[in-house]
Amino acid sequence: MWGDAFPSFLIGLREGLEAGLIVSVLVATLVRAGARSRLPQVWTGVLAAIALSMSFGAVLTFTAASLSTTAQEAFGGTLSIVAVAFVTAMVFWMRRSARGLAGEIREKVTGALAMGAGVLVLTSFLAVGREGLETALFLWTTARAANESAGPLTGAGIGLVLAAALCWGLYRRVLRINLTRFFTATGVVLIVIAAGVLGYGLRDLQEGTVLPGGTAYAFDLSGSVDAGAWYSTLLQGVLNLTPAMTWLQVAGYVGYLAVVMTLFVRGVREQSGAGAGAPAGAGAGADAGQRVGSGADGAVAGGKRAAAPRAAPPADPPSARPPAAEPPPTLTSAPTPTTAPTRRRPAWLIPVAVVAVPALLAGLVVALADPKPAAGETVAVSETACGQGFTAPEPGRQDFLMHNTGNQTSEVYLIDPTSNAVYGEIEGLAPGTTRDLVATVSGGTYAWRCVPADGKAVTSKVVRVGGAAGAHAVVPVSERDLAAPLKAYRAYVDRGLATLVTQTGKLSDDIRAGHLGTARADWLTAHRTYASLGAAYGTFEDFDQKIDGRPDGLPGGVHDKDFTGFLRIEYGLWHGEPAAGLKGVAQQLAEDGAGLRKAFPHQDFDSSDLPLRAHEILENTLQFELTGDTDQGSGTGLATADANLAGTRELLAVLKPLLTTRAPRLLPTVDADIARLQKLLDSAHHGTGWTPVDRLDHAAKARLDGATGQLLEDLSPVPDLLEVRKSA
Is the four-CA dihedral 82, 88, 93, 98 of positive or negative sign?
positive
The DSSP element (H or E) to which 561 belongs, if any, is: none
Q: What is the structure's pLDDT at 178?
A: 67
SS3 (DSSP) at 148: coil
Spell out the alpha helix ranges (H) of 513-565: 516-531, 543-548
- Give the pLDDT of residue 320: 38
Where is 565: in which H helix or E strand?
none
pLDDT class for 307, splitting at 50, 70, 90? very low
DSSP SS3 for 430? coil
Residue 331 is predicted with a pLDDT of 37
Band (99; pLDDT cuts 50, 70, 90)? low
Q: Tell me the mean pLDDT in the region 134-149.
A: 58
Of 337-346, 479-488, 546-555, 694-703, the poorest mean pLDDT is in 337-346
Query: What type of residue sits at position 4?
Result: D
313 or 30, higher pLDDT: 30
Residue 374 CA to residue 394 CA, distance in Å, equals: 9
Question: What distance in Å separates the CA atoms of residue 534 and residue 338, rounded to the nearest whole number?
Answer: 95
Residue 655: pLDDT above 70? yes
CB 450 within 8 A of CB 428: no
Residue with the larger pLDDT of the pair 145 and 659 = 659
Query: How far is residue 724 CA from its own chain's centroid?
Result: 32
pLDDT-based confidence at residue 348 (cuts at 50, 70, 90)? low
- When pLDDT is averaged across residues 150-170 and rounded to a whole number, the result is 74
CB 719 within 8 A of CB 612: yes
Report the pLDDT value the prediction gives residue 391, as an integer from 0 to 100: 87
Model pLDDT, residue 698: 85
Kindly tell me if the per-residue pLDDT of 252 is higher than 80. Answer: yes
For 75-225, strand residue ranges (E) read 177-178, 217-220
How far is Cα 238 from Cα 1, in angstroms, rounded to an integer? 10
More confident residue, 521 or 95: 521
Residue 184's pLDDT band (cuts 50, 70, 90):
confident
CA distances from 249 to 197, 241, 670 (A): 10, 10, 20
Q: Is the pLDDT confidence value at 325 over 70?
A: no
* Angle subtended by helix axes 151-171 and 117-145, to nearest 10: 150
Query: What average pLDDT does the chain have?
Result: 75
Q: What is the pLDDT of residue 329?
A: 42
Helices (DSSP H) in 636-717: which residue ranges? 637-662, 666-683, 698-715
pLDDT over 80 at 154, yes or no: no
CA dist 78 and 84 (Å) reads 10
CB of 428 within 8 A of CB of 437? no
pLDDT exceeds 90 at position 148: no
DSSP assignment string, 71-84: HHHHHHHHHHHHHH
Task: Return the pLDDT at 318.
Answer: 38
Tens-digit pLDDT profile for residues 590-617? 999 999 999 999 988 888 888 888 888 9
Pairing assessment for the beta strands 444-452 and 396-404 based on DSSP bridges:
unpaired
Segment among 230-239, 243-252, 339-348, 532-541 with least mean pLDDT: 339-348
pLDDT given at position 564: 93
Q: Residue 582's closest CA among 551, 549, 558?
A: 558
- Among 290-304, 359-373, 551-565, which range has the highest average pLDDT? 551-565
CA atoms within 13 A on the CB side of 282: 7
Mean pLDDT of 295-323: 39
Any idea which of 42-46, 429-433, 484-488, 632-636 has the lowest mean pLDDT? 42-46
> Which is nearest to 141 in space by CA: 192, 72, 208?
72
Q: What is the pTM of this model?
A: 0.52
Q: Count of alpha carbons within 13 Å of 696, Cβ hemisphere only?
A: 26
Share of the chain above pLDDT 90, in %: 25
Per-residue confidence (pLDDT) for residue 226, from 0 to 100: 56
Residue type, 142: T
Q: Judge contact between 480 and 608, C-beta under 8 A.
A: no
If DSSP codes are grouped into helix, strand and coil, which group holds residue 48? helix
In this structure, what are the phi and psi dihedrals at residue 205, rounded to the nearest 5 degrees?
Answer: -65, -35
Asked whether 702 and 594 are in contact (CB, 8 A), the reply is: no
pLDDT, mean of residues 285-308? 39
Confidence of residue 333 (pLDDT cuts 50, 70, 90): very low
Alpha helices in 281-348 (DSSP H): 283-287
Task: Give me the mean pLDDT over the 645-652 stretch.
Answer: 94
How far apart, in whole angstroms, are the C-alpha atoms of residue 392 and residue 23?
57
Give yes or no for residue 664 having a pLDDT over 90.
no
Q: How confident is the model at residue 79 (pLDDT cuts 50, 70, 90)?
A: low
- Provide the pLDDT confidence category of residue 294 given band limits of 50, 70 and 90: very low
What interhelical angle do 179-207 and 117-145 show, nearest 10?
50
Task: Return the closest-CA partner of residue 376 out of 300, 295, 461, 434.
Answer: 434
pLDDT of residue 54: 75
Distance (Å, whole) CA 549 – CA 547: 6
Characterize the bridge pairing of strands 410-416 and 396-404.
unpaired
Distance separating alpha carbons of residues 33 and 298, to the nearest angstrom:
10
369-416 pLDDT, tens digit each: 555 555 567 899 888 889 888 888 888 778 888 999 988 899 899 999
Secondary structure, 3-state, 481-514: HHHHHHHHHHHHHHHHHHHHHHHHHHHHHHHHCC
The pLDDT, as a whole number, for residue 488 is 93
